[in-house]
Amino acid sequence: MGDKQQDSVERPADGNKNQTSDSLPTDEDKHKKKGDPNKLTLLTWNIDGLDLDDIKERLSRLLDYLIEYHPDIVLLQEVISPIYQVLQQVLKPYHVLPGSDRSYFTAILLRKSRVQLLESSIVNYPTTKMRRNLLMAYVSFLGHPLCVMTSHMESMKPQSLERQNQLRTVWKTMREQPQDHNVIFGGDTNLRDWEVKNQGGLPEGICDVWESLGQPEDCRYTWDCVTNDNKDLPFPARLRFDRLFLRQAGKGSKVSPDGMTLVGLERLDDCQRFTSDHWGLLCTFVMKPLSQATPE
């Protein structure tokens, strides 16, 4: 309800299935809880823009999801130019920041009413064979300085070595940010668990958000060909490719993981496929003031 006043999104065509509920007490409580304005909501999603089959319906559903969840920050991978154009034109409440202008690329979407863009930059992976990079946005969220990053790291098993190079770059870049910044990375890492072990595990000061939340089984596999048949693979494969890393600020308010859920689990009406071969990861964070932090 109060939704309208703040962040209603314009859409050209609407098959409005997911309307915000009206005034039932329980629903309103729920809505209030879900819409806690102090929480930061972030969605990361590889939308498989390289798969052009059923792209219209899939893109339409993607927009529905974005409007439904209206995350404060959206991190997308495998965006292609036509999709980028639509995002820019349709998602008026968002600032759309592309990671490149050719082939396929990443994008950061910032909900203008909640997140102010201060600066953006790109870190190159010097040895990528797939034109991948690390896209960064310095923003202000409720007055707190925040650094947001996304990347679509080198794909496929044989590129393990390059992928691990990129992982080191990501972690190093996160650790180099100013101490008063919380730093959130989200993206399609293409990581296998053994590759993280291979790097000696998570470095000091960086956590894997899914692990911090207790490794919930229901959002472990973000690329799940057991359930998701978009790729029609003849074997069962499920991996946790999409991950979120967090480096908390060393002073000031700290961002802490609060919840995580998969997005995109519904088959589309027409083609009966899914929005992407990846699930999206919708994550909420709470801001913890310094006073609540554990004393040393």
122-147 residues labelled b (16+ CB within 10 A) or e (exposed):
ebebeebeeebbbbbbbbebeebbbb
Q: CB nearer to a second copy: give 161 or 226.
A: 161
Q: What is the nearest approach in angstroms of DNA to the Cβ of residue 153? A: 12
Q: Which of residues 120-179 bind a second copy (CB under 8 A)?
A: 161, 164-165, 168
Please tell me the count of residues contacting a second copy according to CB under 8 A.
Answer: 9
Look at residue 284 and give its three-state secondary structure. Answer: strand
Least Å distance between CB 193 and DNA?
8
Q: Of the candidates 192, 211, 212, 261, which one interacts with DNA according to CB under 7 A?
A: 192
233 is a contact residue toward DNA (CB under 7 A):
yes
Tally Cβ neighbours within 10 Å of residue 199: 13
With tokens 């088959």, the residue in question is 267
Q: In degrees, to the nearest 5, what angle opens at C-alpha 244 toward C-alphas 243 and 246?
A: 150
Beta bridge partners of 77: 46
CB atoms within 10 A of CB 85: 11
51 is a contact residue toward DNA (CB under 7 A): yes
In the complex, least distance from residue 205 CB atom to DNA, rounded to whole angstroms: 27
Interacting stretch for a second copy, rule CB under 8 A, among 85-93, 174-182, 195-203, 272-280?
195-203
Q: Does position 237 bind DNA by CB under 7 A?
A: yes
196 binds DNA (CB under 7 A): no
Given DNA, a second copy, none, residue 234, with its beta carbon under 5 to 8 Å by kind, binds DNA
7 is catalytic: no
Residue from the set 12, 143, 200, 214 that interacts with a second copy by CB under 8 A: 200
State which of residues 5, 143, 194, 236 lies at the interface with a second copy (CB under 8 A).
Answer: 194
> Strands (DSSP E) along the chain, which ranges?
40-46, 73-80, 94-98, 104-111, 115-124, 133-141, 144-151, 182-188, 207-208, 223-224, 238-239, 242-247, 254-263, 280-288
Q: Give the shortest CB-156-to-DNA separation in angstroms.
A: 4
Name which of 169 and 228 has its Cβ closer to a second copy. 169
* Residue among 48, 54, 64, 188 flagged as catalytic: 188
Cα(107)–Cα(125) distance, integer angstroms: 17
- 216-236 b/e with 16+ CB inside 10 Å = b? eeebebbbbbeebebeeeeee
**Residue in 81, 100, 116, 198 binding a second copy, rule: CB under 8 A:** 198
Residues labelled as active-site residues: 188
Q: Which residues bind a second copy (CB under 8 A)?
A: 161, 164-165, 168, 194, 197-200
